[in-house]
Structure 1
Amino acid sequence: MSSDRYQIESCQRTFLKDYSHFIHQTPVWKLPGRALGVACAEVWLKLEHFQTGGSFKARGMLNRLLSNPIPASGVIVASGGNAGIATAAAARELGVHCEVFVPEVSSPAKRARLAALGAQVVVTGATYAEALQACLARQQETGALLTHAYDQPEVLAGAGTLALEIEEQASLPDAVLVSVGGGGLIGGMAHWFERRARVVALEPELAPTLFKAREAGQPVDVSVAGIAADSLGAKRIGALAWTATQAHVQDALLLSDEAIRAAQLWLWKELKLAVEPAAALPLAALHSGVYVPRADEKVCLIICGANLDPATLA
């Protein structure tokens, strides 16, 4: 077993032993492909939007906090919203102070959730990258433990426990469709599945960090905009995710905002799943034909987050 998979297993053991009240084993909902209008044998929905904090991020953020000494100044993070919510929830669980820097593009619903969790919220910068720079400057002043939204080993290992769960709950899928922002989720999942399952990276056309990195042969800065920018708004793919995806991810595919929005509304209207746009990319890939499964394929869709304003589903 690789050292990365060992770290994921170790993280999962800690969650199950001491934090099963905080990190939930979220359900896998198996449906025949035709139930979702898809010509494949089965579609599995990994309902990670039921996770603490409303997204997969709780796994990596708690692991980061548990793996390091936390100073009196607490923890600090820059986030489009979900990583901040997860860090704030983990900080509250451990009884430590949390400061969260969010960009102006972050949704009011996510800011309200941060405040409700007791975090000190700082809104600054037009993009996540600008909020991160302000966060790093503040961390130098306070000495708080920095929790990165996607580019720390503990964060990837925590995210990888989601993949381990899928295999334990439902066996090994043929393909796993994963939304990509900075790459913490797909990095962790790639480390667990390696090439035993086909891990497919999905990005909005208006925030193509991994796609553009592959074109350039290395991580590069990209412009970020669009419907999913509050969650998938990283300016550059994380270094750790870049390494993991180069080794284990064959496909990096792009989705239009129109396809993402249509899939988000379909999930609500047809399955009553209220999820944010970032969580709709896997279904959008199937409905739009960007990813075409084999007829006998078992495809797992990672429904990664639900921090949205319910009014947007009207």
Structure 2
Amino acid sequence: MELTHSDVKAAAERVTGRVRPVAVAQADSTGELWLALEFLQHTGSFKARGAVNFLLTHQDGGTLPPVGVTIASGGNAGLACAWAARDQGVPATVFLPTTAPRVKIDRLTSYGAEVRLVGNRYADALAASREFADDTGALLSHAYDNPLVAAGAGTLMTEIHERIPDLDTVVVAVGGGGLFAGVATAADHYGVRTVAVEPIHCRALHAAITAGRVVDVEVDSIAADSLGARRASELALAAARQYDVASVLVEDRAISAARRNLWQERRIAVEHGAATALAAALGAEPALRRVPGERVCVVLCGANTDPSDLAG
């Protein structure tokens, strides 16, 4: 399975006008560090891009059934799928682990989705969604392991390049790897290096790179609700092998500090998963020791969080 820039380009043509164009903000006085404010996207995360591309492709191909679509998610992919399904006038049944944040469950309900809580891991919800698709004929979507979803996510990089054409490096958090695969594919087309960042105890891509194949990992991180995939996708591993990619791990305490920094310094409230990429940029990671003049953009990819712990 391979993802190409042509896939991302085709996705960009489908999603234009249906998703919010990303805004970027200069994060330092030199113009060398930028933030991509993708948390302002519909449904609060980049996942809207992949969901729109996935459903429009199936609608155009006549393969979107009246019974609708089903997906398993830690929250954000389900939100995007439910929102896009509502726009296409079909039902969405979303399976979540019981550990999913209440804020995401409530938003899913507001989009008209049927929410089913199964088990305490993403893998449990995924198995249930597959069984549901087999039983009902619903279209099975996937939170990250689908080329249409990854290509849709990659449209974010297309827009970032339009806004920062002399960009050198893009920094992105990784869960299962859909966003990473799409961004890395588009970034390579533009000659931009990709840095993939994961929590040290949610390291599915890093482990796959080390092993040379996708492997299961233990998941135990403050960012597990959005980055807690037990294994990376084959698309993500292929992108990591093919392109100029650095894989970086960060501690939970660095993620929490980066999230709080965004709030205290900029009044931006994001998920721990979204703060993961910034944690690497603010730290002393060798892969991100910038040379003078290097332009770096950090993707802030999701805002579906309870900001009450940021008060003060």
TM range (shorter): over 0.9
Q: What do residues 148-190 of structure 1 show as CA deviations (whole Å, max 9, x unaligned)? A: 0001110111011000001112214111100000000010011
Q: How does 1:43-54 map to 2 (within 5 A)?
A: 43-54=33-44
Matched residue type, 2:301:
C
Partner of 2:271: 276
What's the CA shift for 1:249?
4.0
Matched residue type, 2:15:
F
Q: How does 1:5-154 map to 2 (within 5 A)?
A: 5-16=5-16, 20=17, 22-32=18-28, 42-68=32-58, 69-154=63-148
Whether the 8 Å CA contact 2:15–2:152 is kept in 1: the answer is: no
Point out the more displaced range, 247-256 or 182-191.
247-256
Q: How does 1:181-192 map to 2 (within 5 A)?
A: 181-192=175-186
Q: Secondary structure at the residue paired with 1:267?
A: helix
Matched residue type, 2:113:
A
Whether the 8 Å CA contact 2:15–2:52 is kept in 1: the answer is: no
Check 1:280–1:259 CA distance in 2 against 1; reply closer, same or farther (3 A cut).
Answer: same
Partner of 2:210: 215
Partner of 1:202: 197
User: Could you state the TM-score of these two structures normalised by the residue count of structure 1?
Assistant: 0.93
Whether the 8 Å CA contact 1:8–1:192 is kept in 2: the answer is: yes
Point out the more displaced range, 303-312 or 48-57.
303-312
Q: What do residues 75-127 of structure 1 show as CA deviations (whole Å, max 9, x unaligned)? A: 00000000000000001111110000011221111111101111000111111
Matched pairs, number: 303
CA–CA distance in structure 1, aligned partners of residues 241 and 149 of structure 2: 18
CA–CA distance in structure 2, aligned partners of residues 77 and 148 of structure 1: 6
CA–CA distance in structure 1, aligned partners of residues 40 and 3 of structure 2: 29
Q: Secondary structure at the residue paired with 1:274?
A: coil
Partner of 1:293: 290
Whether the 8 Å CA contact 1:79–1:149 is kept in 2: the answer is: yes
Q: Secondary structure at the residue paired with 2:245?
A: strand
User: Could you state the TM-score of these two structures normalised by the residue count of structure 2?
Assistant: 0.94
What's the CA shift for 1:129?
1.2
Partner of 1:38: none
Match of 2:300 among 296, 299, 303: 303
Whether the 8 Å CA contact 1:178–1:202 is kept in 2: the answer is: yes
CA–CA distance in structure 1, aligned partners of residues 108 and 159 of structure 2: 27
Structure 2 residue runs without a partner (length 5+): none
Q: How does 1:223-262 map to 2 (within 5 A)?
A: 223-262=218-257
What's the CA shift for 1:137?
1.0
Check 1:146–1:115 CA distance in 2 against 1; reply closer, same or farther (3 A cut).
Answer: same
What's the CA shift for 1:247?
0.6
What's the CA shift for 1:312?
2.6
CA–CA distance in structure 2, aligned partners of residues 96 and 227 of structure 1: 34
What's the CA shift for 1:267?
0.3
What is the percentage of aligned positions where both structures have the same residue?
44
CA RMSD of aligned residues (A): 1.5
Partner of 1:179: 173
Moved over 2 A (4+): 31-34
CA–CA distance in structure 2, aligned partners of residues 146 and 194 of structure 1: 30
CA–CA distance in structure 1, aligned partners of residues 238 and 98 of structure 2: 30
Matched residue type, 1:90:
A
